[in-house]
Amino acid sequence: MIEFLAALTDPSLPFFRYAVLTGIFASIPFGVIGTYVVVRRISYIAGAISHCILGGVGAGLYLQNALGISWFGPLHGAIVVALLASLILAVVSMYAKQREDSVIGALWSVGMAAGLLFIAKTPGYSDPMSYLFGNILLITRTDFYLVLALDVLVIGIIGFFYNTFLAICFDEEYAQLRGIRTHWLYLLLLCLVALTIVLLVRIVGIVMVIALLTLPAAIAGNFARNILQMMVLSTVFCILFVILGLGTSYSLDLPSGPVIILFAAAAYLLALLGLKAVGRK
């Protein structure tokens, strides 16, 4: 921990400060949106959106480097594809609920396949590993500001629609009867999930983002009495895992993403075992 604090204050290691700060501020959307993903039981949908992102990243790299469209990069591609995937998934849940499973699976792998093909055809070398597994130590000042913007967006929209989102997560059919346009709001929720995933993929990567989205919220769900408490608690848990993970990975010279995820998973296991021992679940 002393090494960790020294690294934080070392002026020659600005990237480490960005990593820690970004991790802390990214915990807000992880906690808030993760709570909805857990209570609405859409972690597979979040998984499909996240894996689709590689398609967008690949397309962005290809357009930029092979076709010379310099203003369109991997981040733009990722946002477009993630929003498109949310739209497809929302429409499927409306009109073909019984096929939802297959569509999730298809989007999941088609996104990956398209991304790898684009990357293969992009001149120069780009390593898909950094997108798949992320690297919080490569976080730039711009990434940090984007995460801050996401915080504002998520808190603003969720603050406004809190009761409405609660109703569609608890009982969508009843919300519809009370005159709520549940389909549009579900689409809005999926779009927020998509944007959260796009920006947070930088930190732990496409493959592991789901763990950081769901594990803190799943732990918090055991203790929270309402959704708001669950959001706050899971944000706190997420901050804890990020700091512990970064500190440990720095001291032991390990990749940060996997260490963060393993801390989260170990805490989840401990929480389950602990509750079992106390006889609460």
Partner 1 sequence: MNEETAAITIRDLSFAYDDIQILCNVRLDIWRGDSICIVGPNGGGKTTLIKLILGLLSPDRGIIRIFGRSPEEERQRIGYVPQYAKYDPQFPISVLDVVMMGRLAGTLRNRYSPQDRDQAMAALGQTGLADLAARPFASISGGQRQRTLIARALASGGDILILDEPTANIDHESEVRFLDLLKGLNERMTILMVTHEVGFASSFFKRIACVNRQVVVHPTSRLTGQLIQEMYGGDLQMIRHDHRCSEEGHRHD
SS3 content of the chain, % helix, strand, coil (to 5): 85, 0, 15
Q: Decide whether 9 or 225 has the Cβ nearer to partner 1.
A: 225
- Taking CB under 8 A as the criterion, which residues in 149-168 touch partner 1? 160-161, 163-164, 166-167
Give me the least distance between CB of 48 and partner 1, in Å please.
21
Which string of DSSP letters, residue by residue, matches 226-268? SHHHHHHHHHHHHHHHHHHHHHHHHHHT--HHHHHHHHHHHHH
- At 44, list the tokens: 């597979």
Q: How far is the CB of 82 from partner 1 (least distance, A)?
A: 24
CB of 30 to partner 1, least distance (A): 18
- Nearest distance from C-beta of residue 178 to partner 1, angstroms: 4
Closest to 37 in 3D by CA, of 182, 186, 214, 211: 214
x/- letters, 22..41, toward partner 1 (CB under 8 A): -----------------x-x
Question: What is the C-alpha separation between 51 and 54, in angstroms, rounded?
Answer: 6
String marking each residue 203-222 x if it binds partner 1 according to CB under 8 A:
------------------x-
Query: Rounded distance, CA 165 to CA 178, Å?
Result: 13
Instruction: Name the site residues for partner 1 (rule: CB under 8 A).
Output: 39, 41, 160-161, 163-164, 166-167, 169-171, 173-181, 221, 224-227, 229-230
